[in-house]
Each structure stands twice: as structure tokens, then as C-alpha cells.
Amino acid sequence: MIRRELEYFFGAIRFFTRLPVPGWVGHSAEALNHSARYFPAVGLMVGGIGALVYLGAALLWPQPVAVLLSMAATIYATGAFHEDGLSDTADGLGGGWEKVRILEIMKDSRVGSYGVVALVLALLGKFVLLSSLEPALVPIALLAGHAVSRFYATVLLATMDYVREDQLSKAKPLATRMSGGAMLVALCFAIAPLLGLPLFQVLAGVALASMATLWLARKFHRWLGGYTGDCLGATQQLAEIAFYLGLVANFSALKA
């Protein structure tokens, strides 16, 4: 059983990142489907890479430079997997007016103006928000942001229908609904890093990430009737940004 779970975990790493995995790890659609429970765990690894780079860079450079290098490290680790999904989703929803056309645009490898704007805003947003945090909180924020945002993507897997019909789609093996036990495993990995952050900031971050995910889910349901792999990437990106937005919010100003 332990070996099987390790295979699922390493399968998730291989699917969602560029990180190497042991040679004994097999590959099958069934195993990849079960690996979705470890989506937030992969987020912990990616966030951990960003946190380590940030801590090392902060010894030599100002916080904005350290944040920029940490972002570059996480993007390199994932191969811009989720950023690509955000770009494709923005192009599809921005340029299409009916389901078939939206899916065609999202599948096109070319990046349109909506995708470019979405990528620029997303990267700039994460940079500004992480640079605005207290320096000591940035490493934990990276761990939490990457794990929590990936949990919200698993929520779509558990609650919505997969809409692409082509069997060659990269997210097709993940399209089976997740069990309650699998969701609990994913939730545990998402909650763990939150324990290292101030409670009120965590609540604000989770609330905003939830709102962002719900907003996207409603759009996906309205225009597509479900989700695609690109939708999962867009959800991860927007939820991560929303989470950081909650962490840096200055609610004390509202009491003045």
C-alpha cells in the first residue's frame, strides 16, 4: 500500500512538474487519476523550492530581488504548466462566445492578447504581493500559496465535469471524480503550511481564494459546462494570487 501511494505521489510530481522521479515509478491513466490527491503536496514541493531560493537570495539581495528569483525557480520547476493554463483560459473566455469556439481557442498553441495580459498581471501581481509581505513570512507564504491554490484546483476535479472529448488531452486521465478520502488527503496537505501563518491573515487569504475559485467555477460552468486542464491551471494561478492578496490586506485601516 505504501509503495502504491508513493507511486501516486511521484506520478503527480512527474505530471505537474519537471522534477525527476525514481525509475521504478510506472505510468498509467489509473495511477495518474489517483495521483490527483497529491496535487497540494506537489504544491508544497514547488513552494519549498521557491522558499529555499528566496532564503538564499535574501542573504545577498533586497527582498524584491529574492522574490523575483524565487518566482523564477518555481516557474522553472513546473515548466510554466499552470501559467500556460491561465493564458489559454484567458484567451478562450476572452475571445470565444460559444463552447466549441472557446475550446478551439484554448487548444491553440498561439498566445493571444488576453493571454498575454493575464500572464503579465498574474506575474506582476505575485511579485508585488510577495514583496509587500514581512520578509520572515515570505517562505511560509510560498509554501501555503502553492499548496492551497492547488487544493482549489482539486475542488474543480471533485465537483465539476470534464468537458473535452478528445482522448489526447493532457488532463484527460485526471477527469474521474475524486473520492471523499482522496479529497481529505489533499486538504491535509493544503492545511499544513497554514499553521505557520497568522490566523487572521490565513482566514482572509482562504476567503479570497475561495471567492476567486467560485467566480471562475461559475464562468466555467456557464460557458463550458465544466472544466478543462487549462481551467485547472487558471484556477491555481488565480487562487494563489487571491491568497497572497488576503495575506497582505491591511484591515486595520477599516477600523480607523
pLDDT at position 173 is 54
Amino acid at site 233: G
Q: How far apart are CA 244 and CA 206, in angstroms?
A: 9
pLDDT at position 168 is 45
Q: How far apart are CA 47 and CA 41, in angstroms?
A: 10
Please give the average pLDDT of every successive group of 10 residues along the chain, which has 256 residues: 86 92 76 86 98 98 98 97 97 92 92 95 98 97 98 94 67 65 94 96 97 98 95 98 96 61
Three cell numbers, residue 32 = 495518474
pLDDT at position 204 is 97
Q: How far apart are CA 88 and CA 170, in angstroms?
A: 14
The pTM for the full model equals 0.93
Q: In sequence order, what E strands does the chain have?
A: none
Three cell numbers, residue 48 = 519549498
Contact in structure between 43 and 150 (CB atoms under 8 Å): yes
